[in-house]
Amino acid sequence: MIEAVHIIDEGIRPDMLGQLELLAEPGERIVSAGPPPGEHAGRACPEPVDGACPELVERVESVHCTMGSPRLAGWRMRDRVGDAQVICAWSDKALLAGRELALTTGRAMVYLVPAAPTDANARKVLAEAVGPGLLNVIAPTRFARSRLVAMGLPERFCHVLPPAALAPEDRAAARRKVRRALEIPDGAKLLVSPDPFVRHAGHEYASWAHAMLRHIPLELRLAFPSSGVMEEHYRFFAATTGFDEEVFFTHGRLPAAEVIAAADVVVLPQTRDCGAAMMASAMAAGVAVAARGAGSLGELAGGGSFALAMAAGPRATSAALLQLIEGEALSARLGQAAEARAGEAFEPTVVTHGLQEIYARAIETKAF
């Protein structure tokens, strides 16, 4: 086994922290550039227990960001590498810290991205970092990889690694627990919009569609189990629909995996590619999914075999959700097919094997 040292920071996305939890080997070190996520009530933690992720957070070693610089933090991390052959970065700041650490120690480096970056500055930093012996980029889908290559990144340094996802141990128990905690009445269906609160996630369309379907009327509740930098924006929007008492922001109260498992329908109304890990989690849970029919989510949907594809916008989102809510046979068929697909493609041991192969290629291309 090729050993890696994993670099994160306080602002790591919750879906990426969840991927780290599934893919990091037990003996591998996890180092944070600055405070770890758990120091601020676990805001970035995908599986909060009293606001923290104990098993993962306990493993994190924090390195001070001198003058707020992740590059200086990377230089200070050189005594944490040990026997690790690869540096694995999981966030934007971790990329800067890991790049410095790779240059300092001569280790190969990989960077896992949730999606191809849309921010111009992020694209610039990434393009400057890719090259022999420095950085190999890992995308969750072929579509995301194609976008990275279109940015000008060398094809041989861009790899595809499907997101890892675990099936819930007892979906029925999770459903009972979540519905009881949220006081969801019998007969009401639960919609879950699980993506992190990031730009282009489209959560406002989930809120809008929920309100439109309530006017039919259908007995529906809506839950957002994640967190992120745009949480206040999405909270504000949800409060304007007139059904804010039926919308639940459950991060810090309930594990995201349990909320997803409790869903009748998962909705992923992204307006641009911004991550595929939560769709993989929903598929592993055997839940019917309505997702953007293009980009990475369209790729995971398999042409409609594993999820109902939809266009962006409130009208298309509402129509797709109505189709799944009223079409129980369709929902059951999609959920069963998605669960089977996830067991083949997203099972953590399968994904870990693929990650090890990418580590080996990164070491082979190291030129310093």
User: What is the three-class DSSP state of 137?
Assistant: strand
pLDDT in tens, 255-286: 999 999 999 999 999 999 999 999 999 999 99
Residue 333 near residue 297 (C-beta atoms within 8 A): no
Q: What is the spatial distance between Cα 16 and Cα 339, in angstroms, rounded to a whole number?
A: 21
pLDDT band at 365 (very low <50, low <70, confident <90, very high): confident
Backbone region of residue 61 per phi and psi (left: phi > 0; alpha: psi in -120 to 50; beta: other values): beta
* Torsion angle, alpha carbons of 64, 70, 75, 78, to 10: 70
Whether residue 179 has pLDDT greater than 60: yes
Give the model's pLDDT for residue 71: 85
- Residue with the bigger pLDDT between 124 and 215: it is 215
Q: Return the number of other C-beta atoms located less than 10 Å from residue 128's C-beta.
A: 11
- Residue with the bigger pLDDT between 57 and 45: it is 57
**Superfamily for domain range 4-162+348-365:** Glycogen Phosphorylase B; (3.40.50.2000)
Locate tokens 């924090």: which residue?
Answer: 62
Locate tokens 């609160």: which residue?
Answer: 197
Mean pLDDT to the nearest integer, 74-92 = 92
The Cα-based distances of 167 to 18, 88, 155, 172, 176 in angstroms read: 14, 25, 33, 12, 17
Share of the chain above pLDDT 70, in %: 94
The reported pTM is: 0.92
Residue 230 near residue 43 (C-beta atoms within 8 A): no
Strand order in the sheet with 4-9: 60-63, 30-33, 4-9, 86-89, 108-112, 136-139, 158-160
CATH architecture of 171-345: 3-Layer(aba) Sandwich (3.40)
Give the model's pLDDT for residue 49: 37
In the chain, CATH 3.40.50.2000 covers: 4-162+348-365, 171-345
Q: Element (H or E) spanning 87, and its range?
A: strand 86-89
Mean pLDDT to the nearest integer, 218-241 = 94
Whether residue 143 has pLDDT greater than 90: yes
Give the model's pLDDT for residue 53: 60
pLDDT in tens, 38-56: 644 333 344 443 334 667 7
Whose CA is closest to 165, among 330, 345, 355, 358? 345
Give the model's pLDDT for residue 67: 80
**How many residues can be counted in the chain?**
368
Burial of 177 (0-12, 13-18, 19+ CB in 10 A): middle
Q: What is the pLDDT of the chain when averaged over all its residues? A: 91
